[in-house]
Amino acid sequence: MQNPAFQTQHQRLQYFIGSLSCYTDPARVKQDAVDVLINFPSLVVNCGVLTGPKDRARSQQAIIALMGTLPVCYKGNMYNIPVNIWLTEQYPMRHPVCYVVPTASMRIKPRHDHCDTAGMVYHPYISGWSAQSSLITLMQYLVEVFSADPPVRAHSDTSRVGPRLQGGAASPTGSGQSAHSGPIQGASSPYPSQQNIVRSSSPAA
């Protein structure tokens, strides 16, 4: 029996996929999003317009975003890194646009190897993205690099990573705006390893 929280997110995803006409491959968008939602229950489905400073040339078309937190293990402790993962109109031909979205009590770590001051995420897997690339694999890479070096720090103590996200994820300039927001659920389990990634059993319609 599927988790009720996942069923809710799956229904939201189906609604957004059915409502949006921007995607050239909606079945692939749905399939990849479902795989991520199964493996990362701390993410939820939203729909909005990507309005970051590096995305001003983008159309004002609403697109799907996965918003919430990525649980990472840093120096033996679990932390939740707040993120927005935007699936653009050209997905999967074009890579997702990923942002770290610090809460009011966090700040972006200066000169982070994989995150700029606006929160945009960079990784070789993103820059080398192709239609055969995998969203769930990208999430694994982000967990890996953020576990090694978290991209956020607490305001009051720059020597440690920021506190776990409570309530909704912040959406500062650079992260885009969500038109249909929902509660962000905290992570209930450690992030999956490459060996125990779960994929949905059947192709998305």
Using one digit for the tens of pLDDT, what is the confidence trace for 87-106? Answer: 999 999 999 999 999 999 99
Q: In the prediction, which pLDDT does 59 show? A: 60
DSSP bridge partners of 180: 47
Query: CA-to-CA distance for 66 and 47, rounded, in angstroms?
Result: 8
The model's pTM is: 0.76
Question: Please, which pLDDT band fits residue 61 given cuts at 50, 70 and 90?
Answer: confident
Mean pLDDT estimate for the chain? 79
- 158 vs 156 pLDDT, higher one: 156
CB proximity list for 143: less than 8 A, separation 6 or greater: 70, 71, 72, 191
Q: In the prediction, which pLDDT does 60 show? A: 77
Contacts 24+ apart (CB under 8 A), 194-200: 194/140, 197/35, 197/39, 197/136, 197/140, 198/35, 198/38, 198/39, 199/35, 199/38, 199/136, 200/31, 200/34, 200/35, 200/38
Question: Please, which pLDDT band fits residue 3 given cuts at 50, 70 and 90?
Answer: confident
Q: In the prediction, which pLDDT does 204 show? A: 41
Burial class of 120 by CB neighbour count within 10 A (0 to 12, 13 to 18, 19+): buried
pLDDT at 126 exceeding the cut of 80:
yes
